[in-house]
Amino acid sequence: MDTQAHSPAASRSFDDVEHVPRRAWLGLLVVLGPVLLVSMDGSVLFLAMPTITRSLGPSADQALWILDIYGFAVSSLLITFGNLGDRYGRLRFLIGGVLVFGAGSALAALSESPGWLIASRALMGLGGSTLLPSGLAVLSELFENPRLRSLAIGIFAATFAAGFAIGPVVGGLLLSRFFWGSVFLINLPVVAAFLLAAPFVLREVRATRPGEVDIPSIALSASGMFLTVYAVKRAAAYGPSPLVVVSAAAGAGFLTWFLMRQRRLEHPLVDVGLFRSKIFTIAILTGVISLVVWSAAAYLSGVYLQSVLGLSVLTAALLALPGAVMLTTTCILTPALADRIGQRRALLTCHLAMACGLALLLLTGATGGVGWFIASTVVAGLGYGISFSLVADTAVGAVPVERAGAAGAIAETSNEVGNALGIALLGSTATLVFRLRGPDVAPTLGETLVAGAAGPVIDQARAAFVDGFHLAMALAALLCAGLGTLALRWLSRSGQ
């Protein structure tokens, strides 16, 4: 062991770290603050929703929009702002995004109605969509040494993953002592610190690649996402209708048109050519699916622990800690794991762990299941950590440095799209089951409990929620197993 520690390779790595200017490390530290907030705010409400339901009384579809309008806004605009940052200045967009994110956080904390909170979360998403691609690109410029640039990107990815993992825990801890708006107010000190430090430690960076942003592409991608998600939510909350069919068809049509348009543009928002690499394609699909299943499992588990088992928000937060620790640790260690066993085996391990972990949630019941919940978060956390780390590294490593903003946007978009779709698809699936099998007092378990229903009705409502929870988690496990099977076939044939 001592010999390895003093090997030439180890000495070179140490020398690399020694020769990086202090400004680069300070820049990394400054960028990581907003990155942590952006990812954390994608999940911070998962344990807070029962409290928000009691305080603001949102309807079934409003509750779902409160949860995922943020992820939807981020995912709709990440690629756009990644390209704009490349052209007009990444630091400029980074600072502007932090300002908007802070303003949205303050407005969200002061919300007096569901509509106000939804609009504030959308504003936060608008700011967040500028932070991730610009922050990743600024780091790529700060660290000129490829080895240390990879290390910095790995730290960036680990921080992003940690934010998703600790969001529910932080939200639960805050709600155990303060009012629900505190989950947004904690953003403001970090925002202030960034705005004070960024102009001194970060440099403005622009890509030399010409070309204007294609406005029709922006409109097609945002409209397609919005209409598709709206159709899913509307169908779950109120059942099928002509409006749902039209919205779904229009959304699918706009997204198809968007992808076809990217193939013809000289400077597209999405470089479709990157997907010619099968390992890149599998990695991005993994980024989407991992967040689809993680966000749905985290949200539905939070409701299960509090509204079904009757645990306090603090207890629910503490029970989520083992999974959060596993996820974050795995994300940090994944680069070494991938070097040792290869990206293909790492991706297959990721899919298997997620599928097995989610399947454990099927053993929970209306009267108990805490142990199965903890086991699920730990096993699935291994898969989530591998996914979060590999997706970012694959995307950024596949393109030249001057395209780091756009490539990073694809990687982070895969996560944010998954985060939004997880609540929209699997969360809506659970809502639909509850609507069909519940006591018909209200369309969600939270609203049924607030309505003050009698004991037998509450028991029926809790059982109906568990049924929907199980169906959603079964579908999630099948998604992971299916993607793992696809990865095994594709990557084995390609030899990657």
- The Cα 468–Cα 117 span in angstroms is 26
Q: What is the mean pLDDT of residues 440-448?
A: 69
Return the biggest CA–CA distance within the chain.
72
69-83, 136-150, 218-232: which is most confident: 218-232
Q: What is the mean pLDDT of residues 284-312?
A: 85
Q: Which residues of 442-463 are buried (b: 16+ CB within 10 A; e: fewer)?
A: bbbbbbbbeeebeeebbebbbb
pLDDT at 2: 39
Domain-wise residue ranges, the chain: 30-203+269-494, 214-268
Residue with tokens 């749905």: 296
More confident of the two residues 116 and 36? 116
Nearest to 418 by CA among 326, 286, 304: 286
Q: What is the mean pLDDT of residues 438-464?
A: 74
Measured CA to CA in angstroms, residue 262 lies from 83, 252, 259, 266, 418 at distances of 13, 16, 5, 8, 21
- The Cα 260–Cα 237 span in angstroms is 32
- Domain 30-203+269-494 CATH (choose: 1.20.1730.10, 3.30.420.40, 3.30.300.180, 1.20.1250.20): 1.20.1250.20
Q: What is the mean pLDDT of residues 70-99?
A: 74
pLDDT at 10: 40
Q: What is the mean pLDDT of residues 361-376?
A: 91
Of all residues in the chain, the percent with pLDDT exceeding 90 is 12
Q: What is the mean pLDDT of residues 115-135?
A: 83
pLDDT at 4: 40
Using the 8-state DSSP alphabet, how is residue 398 labeled? Answer: T
Q: Tens digit of pLDDT for each residue in 177-215?
A: 888 888 888 889 988 888 888 777 776 655 545 456 678
pTM for the complete prediction?
0.72
pLDDT at 186: 85
pLDDT at 12: 42
Burial of 493 (0-12, 13-18, 19+ CB in 10 A): exposed
Res. 14: pLDDT tops 80: no
Phi and psi at residue 50, in whole multiples of 5°? -60, -40
pLDDT at 230: 78
Res. 330: pLDDT tops 80: yes
Res. 473: pLDDT tops 90: yes
Please provide the DSSP assignment of 343-392 as one string.
HHHHHHHHHHHHHHHHHHGGG--SS--HHHHHHHHHHHHHHHHHHHHHHH
pLDDT at 6: 42
Q: What is the mean pLDDT of residues 145-149?
A: 69
CA 144 from centre of chain: 28
Q: Which residues of 183-206 are buried (b: 16+ CB within 10 A; e: fewer)?
A: bbbbbbebbeebeebbeebbeebb
CA 145 from centre of chain: 29
Q: What is the mean pLDDT of residues 158-175?
A: 75
Point out the least confidently predicted range of 146-150, 250-254, 317-321, 342-346.
Answer: 146-150
pLDDT at 9: 40
